[in-house]
Amino acid sequence: MDLNLTGKVAVVTGGSAGIGLAIARGLAAEGAHLALCGRDEERLREAASEIPGVRVIGVAADLTSQDGVDRLAAAVREEFGGADILINNAGTGSEEKILTAPDERWQLYWELHVMAAVRLARAIAPGMKARGGGVILHNASICATQPLGYEPIYNVTKAALVMFSKCLANELIGDNIRVNAVNPGLVMTGDWVKTAKLLTEGTDQTWEQYLQKIAEDNAPIGRFATPEEIADLFVFLSSARATYAVGSTYYIDGGWLNVTT
């Protein structure tokens, strides 16, 4: 299936590892040029060097600030003249209690998961319109609908991201810019492995056994997804094969979702 992505320009935030890097590789395999954004400049250089056949730049920026967003948008304009695809993937989990988490922690996640997407839309969507249209995708989470008890801030901000995605879709579809959100379930990323290793250190349980138990307890499919399995959906939604996909939220969770949405 030809996805008609050859020569398109894609911006991928959180693009140096995990789901973001898998999305970048998937888009590159279809011929799209890339602007990868992350905080770690060395890791960005390494990621960019591993993607062959297309133009790739890495932009080290903290997207919790307007300055970071401006730096990324300026780099995209300078290198490519604008973007056709924006993947808002940057984010991370949290762990706290509502009654004890300070305002500063709430604000940090609000800036990362919500305001970064708002600011990037303002910075990049006008250029998309000038290019004839484009695609904006938000990597949210199943936790936007089905919250995990230990990360209320993550749950709330991802839910806000999904609603922002819907509102943005309604505003931009007249400019031929399609906006959608994706809600992944369990995905085998470095963060999950790191956490599992910490929690099983000095116990009789291996980190692999710990994660397998989580999968069996939550996902009917009985395993974590690979980042590439999630990336494939993002690549399809970025393409001309998904032109009727507008303002929706797509679950890819191995059957985990157990509430009516």
147-169: average pLDDT: 97
CA geometry: angle 238, 227, 224, nearest 5 deg: 130
What predicted TM-score, i.e. pTM, was given to this entire model?
0.96
Spans of all domains in the chain: 9-187+226-252, 188-224
Determine the pLDDT at residue 195. Answer: 85
Tell me what the pLDDT averaged over the chain comes to. 96
Q: Which of 109, 150, 154, 251 is catalytic?
A: 154
Could you give the CA distance from residue 59 to residue 84 in angstroms, rounded to a whole number?
17
At 53-88, the pLDDT tens digits run 999 999 999 999 999 999 999 999 999 999 999 999
Query: Is 35 within 8 Å of 75 (Cβ atoms)?
Result: yes
244 assigned to active site: no
Q: pLDDT, tens digit, for every residue of 215-228?
A: 999 999 999 999 99
pLDDT at res. 199: 87
Is 259's pLDDT higher than 80?
no
261 pLDDT above the threshold of 70: no
Q: Read off the pLDDT of each residue in 165-174 and give the average, rounded to a whole number.
A: 98
At residue 1 the predicted structure's pLDDT band, cuts being 50, 70 and 90, is confident
**Fold designation for 9-187+226-252:** Rossmann fold (3.40.50)
In this structure, what token pair is assigned to residue 237?
Answer: 């939604």
Percent of the chain scored above 90 by pLDDT?
93
What is the pLDDT confidence band of residue 198, given thresholds at 50, 70 and 90?
confident
Render the chain in DSSP notation, one character per residue.
Answer: -----TT-EEEEETTTSHHHHHHHHHHHHTT-EEEEEES-HHHHHHHHHT--SS-EEEEE--TTSHHHHHHHHHHHHHHHSS-SEEEE---------TTT--HHHHHHHHIIIIIHHHHHHHHHHHHHHHTT-EEEEEE--GGGTS--TT-HHHHHHHHHHHHHHHHHHHHHGGGTEEEEEEEE--B--HHHHHHHHHHHTTSSS-HHHHHHHHHHHH-TT-SPBPHHHHHHHHHHHTSGGGTT--S-EEEESTT---S--
Q: Is the pLDDT confidence value at 15 over 90?
A: yes
pLDDT digits (tens, 9 = 90+) for 85-142: 999 999 999 989 999 999 999 999 999 999 999 999 999 999 999 999 999 999 999 9
